[in-house]
A = this chain, B = another copy of it.
């Protein structure tokens, strides 16, 4: 596969730990990674205290870590009157189902089956193949967190999902990740051919921006323009596609260190999560300080997402995953388990989860609950 890429892929070192556009926002993982350089992995096995709040363990239906389970914050019983002993735990499952249904309805409206079917069928096939709608949920939750509402965020939420989906359609192509399976079904190019997969991906990308620009109700146009710019940056040259090309260039290379691995995952995974969260925050009218915290939060969960992904690729079967398992190993891709070992990767994941939640501490706790719970979900998922 790398034989089809004729250029050596070089990195400017200072881009490895920060997004080049946000010089004031250093990668939150920079400090975490510094602790890891040269450190031996340790067994993760104990519940942890988070910033003085007593954490009660509660099992989700799909536990991942044998020891780590989803944590639901019960509150500082002594000091914080905004919590009471009777505050019910946050029902993430219902939240995800309800918001997911809203997102699916909106996607159905945005991408109906129409002419030319050769474009719309592959788009819809890929969009409605399943998926947890994590990016749309993050966008909506972030918008509501800063005082906005679901309707305002929805077109951008859909756009984030469209961008994510088209990137998978292109990633799966034979001369890239060469995947036959995605979300348990044949990939788009296997079902419809490479031409349709490339062009449908292109059109879905365009549709994402058309949709945000044309269909965002209740937000001032400057916020809409900012959201467009944010999503475009996050998906493009400082984000998703940049991570993908460096990832492809790095396959089979024995020289990839922790910095390059961080670059790949910050760009390939975290960037679009960040774009979704920040676009939501912008549309909801967040201050620059709030948007900064949302940005850092998103980078943590983005890296967390990928660390867990790498771990699942090693520990789960294709059926459980819904995509081809063991591919990273087979393709000699650099992964966290390969760099840090399995237990070391699990410990890193827990550190990232902790830091993500710290970024949410300054917000209204009740409005922050979905994002806190989503963080735990990302950490504990099984596929």
- Where the two chains meet, the residues of A that have a C-beta atom closer than 8 Å to any C-beta of B are 1, 4-12, 15, 114-121, 167, 170, 173, 175-176, 191-196, 198-203, 205-210, 212-214, 220-222, 224-226, 228-229, 232-233, 235-237, 241-242, 244-246, 248-249
Number of copies: 2
Decide: B5 and A196 in contact? CB cutoff 8 A: yes
Decide: B7 and A118 in contact? CB cutoff 8 A: yes
Contacts of A191 in B (CB 8 A): 6
Q: A11-B116, A209-B228 are in contact. List 9 more A-B contacts (CB 8 A).
A: A5-B193, A10-B116, A116-B246, A170-B198, A175-B193, A176-B198, A206-B235, A213-B229, A224-B225
Most buried by B among A9, A206, A236, A241: A206
Kindly report which residue of chain B lies nearest to residue A202, judged by CB atoms.
B241
Contacts of A1 in B (CB 8 A): 195
A382 to chain B, nearest CB (A): 30
8 nearest A-B residue pairs (beta carbon) = A206-B236, A213-B229, A210-B232, A221-B221, A221-B222, A4-B193, A12-B115, A209-B232
A169 to chain B, nearest CB (A): 10
* Residues of A contacting B: mostly: helix
Kindly report which residue of chain B lies nearest to residue A248, judged by CB atoms.
B195
Decide: A202 and B203 in contact? CB cutoff 8 A: no
How many angstroms between the C-alpha atoms of A209 and B205 in the bound complex? 11
Decide: B206 and A245 in contact? CB cutoff 8 A: no
Decide: A224 and B221 in contact? CB cutoff 8 A: yes
How many angstroms between the C-alpha atoms of A382 and B44 in the bound complex? 70
Residue pairs across A and B with Cβ atoms less than 8 A apart, 19 shown, are A6-B191, A6-B192, A9-B118, A10-B117, A11-B116, A167-B202, A175-B193, A206-B233, A206-B236, A206-B241, A207-B236, A209-B229, A210-B229, A212-B228, A213-B225, A213-B228, A221-B224, A225-B225, A225-B228
Contacts of A120 in B (CB 8 A): 237
Decide: B199 and A244 in contact? CB cutoff 8 A: yes
